[in-house]
Amino acid sequence: MMMKIAVLPGDGIGEEVMKEALKVLKKVEAKFNLHFDFTHGLIGGAAWPQYKNHFPQETQDLVLDSDAILFGSVGGPVDAQSEPKWKDCEKNSILSIRKLLGLTVNLRPAPIYKELLDFCPLKTEITGTENFEILVIRELSGGIYFGEHSRPTVDTAKDVAEYDRKTIAHIAKFAFESAMKRSKKLTSVDKANVLETSRLWREVFEDTAKEYPEVKLENVLVDNMVQQLVKNPRQFDVIACPNLFGDIVSDLTSVLPGSLGMLGSASFGNKNIHLYEPSGGSAPDIAGKGIANPIAQILSASMMLRHSFHLVDAADAIENAVSEVMKNGLRTGDIYQKKEGLKLVGTVEMGDAICANISL
Position 53 scores a pLDDT of 97
pLDDT for 234 equals: 96
> Where exactly are the structural domains of the chain?
1-104+259-360, 121-256
CATH top class, domain 121-256: alpha beta
pLDDT digits (tens, 9 = 90+) for 54-71: 999 999 999 999 999 999
Q: What is the pLDDT of residue 360?
A: 61
The reply to whether 334 belongs to the active site is no
Check the CA dihedral 186-192-198-200 and report its sign: positive
**Which residues of the chain fall below pLDDT 50?**
none
Matching fold, domains 1-104+259-360 and 121-256: yes
Predicted confidence at residue 271, as pLDDT, reads 86
Cα-to-chain-centroid distance, residue 92: 19
The beta-carbon contacts of 21-26 under 8 Å, at least 24 apart in sequence, are 21/70, 21/294, 21/297, 21/298, 21/300, 21/301, 21/351, 22/301, 23/351, 23/352, 23/355, 24/298, 24/301, 24/318, 24/321, 24/351, 24/354, 24/355, 24/358, 25/301, 25/305
Catalytic residue, chosen from 31, 184, 185, 247, is 247
Q: What is the pLDDT of residue 95?
A: 86
pTM assigned to the model: 0.93
Q: One of 251, 285, 313, 316 is an active-site residue; which one?
A: 251
| Residue 191 annotated among the catalytic residues of the structure | yes
Q: Is 130 exposed, middle or buried (0-12, 13-18, 19+ CB in 10 A)?
A: exposed
Of 191, 237, 276, 352, the active-site residue reads 191
Which one of 114, 145, 184, 336 is the catalytic residue?
145
Q: Tell me how many helices (H) and strands (E) the chain has.
A: 13, 14
Among candidates 152, 133, 132, 174, which has minimal Cα distance to 268?
174
CATH for the 1-104+259-360 domain, from 3.40.718.10, 3.30.1360.200, 3.30.465.10, 3.50.50.60: 3.40.718.10
- Among candidate residues 61, 65, 88, 223, the one labeled active-site is 223
Q: Is 352 a catalytic residue?
A: no
